[in-house]
Amino acid sequence: MRDGINLAKLGIPSVALVTEEFWAQGNFVAESLGMSDVPRVQLPHPVAGTGSENMTAVADSVAQEIVAALEASSD
């Protein structure tokens, strides 16, 4: 979440990737930093350590959502 916020503050289009387990914390961080409108995409939890095949499947399942969030934030 913080990476996405830091990039957005620099004017770099970004989408924060947050797992479902940490979604509420992501809301808190975004609101506390005054950036509640930073685009986010929810990933299943866990992703890390689940193997490259699963990580590829997760990436495939959210790729369009990431592109859509980037396009919407550039409007």
Q: What is the pLDDT of residue 74?
A: 78
In sequence order, the β-bridge partners of residue 18 are 42
Per-residue pLDDT of the chain (75 residues; tens, 9 = 90+): 999 999 999 999 999 999 999 999 999 999 999 999 999 999 999 999 999 999 999 999 999 999 999 999 877
Q: Using an 8 Å Cβ cutoff, are 4 and 32 in contact?
A: no
Q: Using an 8 Å Cβ cutoff, are 40 and 70 in contact?
A: no
Burial level of 11, CB count in 10 A (0-12/13-18/19+)?
Answer: exposed
Q: What does the alpha-carbon distance between residue 56 and residue 47 come to, in Å, rounded to a whole number?
A: 10
pTM of the model: 0.87
